[in-house]
Amino acid sequence: MPLLFAQGLRKSFGETRAVDGVDFLVESEELVSLVGSNGAGKTTLVNLLSGLLVPDAGSIAFQDADITAVPVRDRIKAGIARSFQLVNLFDQLSALDNVRLAIFSRDGTTRQVLRLAERNRHAREEALEILRDFGLEDKWDTPAAGLAQGERKLLDVALAYALRPKLILLDEPTSGVGTREKGTIMDAVAQLVQARGLAAVIVEHDMDVVFTYSHRIVMMHQGKVLAEGTPEQIRADERVATALLGKA
């Protein structure tokens, strides 16, 4: 069985069918890229998988358990974490505290009311280590609001990563950052995903990035899956070329 298996997913916003009968699966330790033009339904699909939205129809199974209607918190416990296209951070907290909070929450220690957060050496060490992995160790005590856009993107991914998920959903982790930083972010992500044996779903516009890092590519168009396959297969697919690459 695949790690994640979604069948016949549908989600409409008014008249718009954002996701229109999508079957989608992710194997363990697989890096899947979701591509497609704006409005293809990529982010909606990620929102359905992560629990931000509930599907109108269809089902989602994770590790053989049905999670279609399971709330966000329980999905995170099951091992699904996500980052956001528009960065979602705790802006007034330091980079360290941002990551540390994910660790506290993962370990169930946010219930500790009468113990100083600083006293938890393990959480502190682990948070610093994660910041190091993402190249943010120098910024550990900068509030998230004071970080550069690329750093904020990295920290957003780091928060999801700190939850130690089995599957990480990354919604455009490189959008809005410079070309050079894009490589840095994706290198970090790909390396960490492989080192930890995570599976990842990455929504991405930059086809160079997609072809470089993906094991498999799923191409969406108007709420449906248009094509899927290995980078080589997708590169050779004429429908993809006309729908996406032709425009670029």
Residues making contact with other proteins (CB under 8 A): 50, 52, 72-73, 76-77, 81-82, 84, 88-94, 96-97, 100-102, 104-106, 109-118, 120, 123-124, 128, 140-143, 159-160, 163
Q: Taking the CB of residue 95, how many other CB atoms lie within 10 A of it?
A: 31
- DSSP result, 222-235: TTEEEEEE-HHHHH
Name the token pair of 173.
Answer: 């982790």
| Least distance CB 173 / other proteins (angstroms) | 15
User: Please, which residue, 90 or 211, has the CB nearer to other proteins?
Assistant: 90
> Could you identify the residue written with the tokens 């699909």?
45
Q: What distance in Å separates the CA atoms of residue 86 and residue 168, rounded to the nearest whole number?
A: 16
| Least distance CB 66 / other proteins (angstroms) | 20
User: Please, which residue, 92 or 194, has the CB nearer to other proteins?
Assistant: 92
Count Cα atoms within 13 angstroms, Cβ side, for 35: 28
| Least distance CB 73 / other proteins (angstroms) | 5
User: Please, which residue, 37 or 142, has the CB nearer to other proteins?
Assistant: 142
Angle 201-238-43 from CA coordinates, rounded to 5°? 25
User: Please, which residue, 103 or 188, has the CB nearer to other proteins?
Assistant: 103
